[in-house]
Amino acid sequence: MRTDAGPVGRIRNPIIEAARRAQIIDAAIETVAEVGYSRASLAQIARRGQLSKSVISYHFAGKHELFEQVVTEIYGDSWAFIEARLAMRSNPAGKIRAYIESNLAYLGAHRSRLLAVANIVANHRDADGTLRFSPTADESVITLLSDLLRQGQLEGEFREFPPRLVAVMIGQAIIGALGEWAANPEVDLPTYGEELVSLFDRATRR
């Protein structure tokens, strides 16, 4: 956050500032989801959130920082949702099922977040022109799934196969399902999730 943009003598209230940042992030999510990455200007975001551009500039150095925070917010919130459901399962197969189902359940309930993060990940670049975020499954996700698959093999739940390879397949299958739903909102995402779970269950079980 920019700390030097407030009026002289202003008493800062962390609760109010956190709420304002959340309001700005929500407005950015809705704007990007509606008009896309390249057309989502700070002026449009300000109008969507019923704010002034100066308020956004006080909390974020610019659109680049704001969009990075949008991705961080969505990733963090979705992981908290997923992690809670993983904790409810005791065996590797159950955790794999929970991972697939909770990914689709979270973003299925937050379509604007899916559209916004997909737009930003596909377009947001560093100063040297490289994409800031990976469009493929995050390495930490691949590691998590690989460890669960390997544990399931050790415990006799799963047959022998390369755990990392199957972990990548699971991650990419989820991305593919969400991409299909983003392009066509009529897709039955819960059924898609059930089929993915069934597919990987049949493919991995001993």
> Three-state secondary structure along 155-191?
CCCECCCCHHHHHHHHHHHHHHHHHHHHHCCCCCHHH
pLDDT in tens, 105-154: 999 999 999 999 999 999 999 889 898 888 777 899 999 999 999 999 99
Contact 203, 103 (CB under 8 A): no
Domain residue limits at 59: 14-204
Q: Over pLDDT 90: what percentage of the chain? A: 84
* Region 9-27 average pLDDT: 84
Q: For residue 125, list its beta bridge partners.
A: 131
Please indicate, yes or no, if residue 3 is contained in any of the structural domains. no
pLDDT in tens, 165-203: 999 999 999 999 999 999 999 999 999 999 999 999 999
Please indicate, yes or no, if residue 8 is contained in any of the structural domains. no
Please indicate, yes or no, if residue 1 is contained in any of the structural domains. no
Please indicate, yes or no, if residue 160 is contained in any of the structural domains. yes
* Region 92-111 average pLDDT: 95
Q: How far is CA 121 from CA 19, 38, 50, in A?
A: 25, 12, 26
Q: How far is CA 147 from CA 37, 97, 139, 151, 164, in A?
A: 35, 14, 12, 6, 8
Please indicate, yes or no, if residue 90 is contained in any of the structural domains. yes
Number of domain units in the chain: 1
CATH of the domain at 18: 1.10.357.10
Higher-scoring residue by pLDDT: 75, 7: 75
Please indicate, yes or no, if residue 6 is contained in any of the structural domains. no
Residue 163 pLDDT greater than 50, yes or no: yes
Please indicate, yes or no, if residue 194 is contained in any of the structural domains. yes
pLDDT in tens, 169-178: 999 999 999 9
In this prediction, residue 12 carries a pLDDT of 72
Q: For residue 205, list its beta bridge partners.
A: 158
Please indicate, yes or no, if residue 108 is contained in any of the structural domains. yes
Place 10 in a pLDDT band, splitting at 50, 70 and 90: low
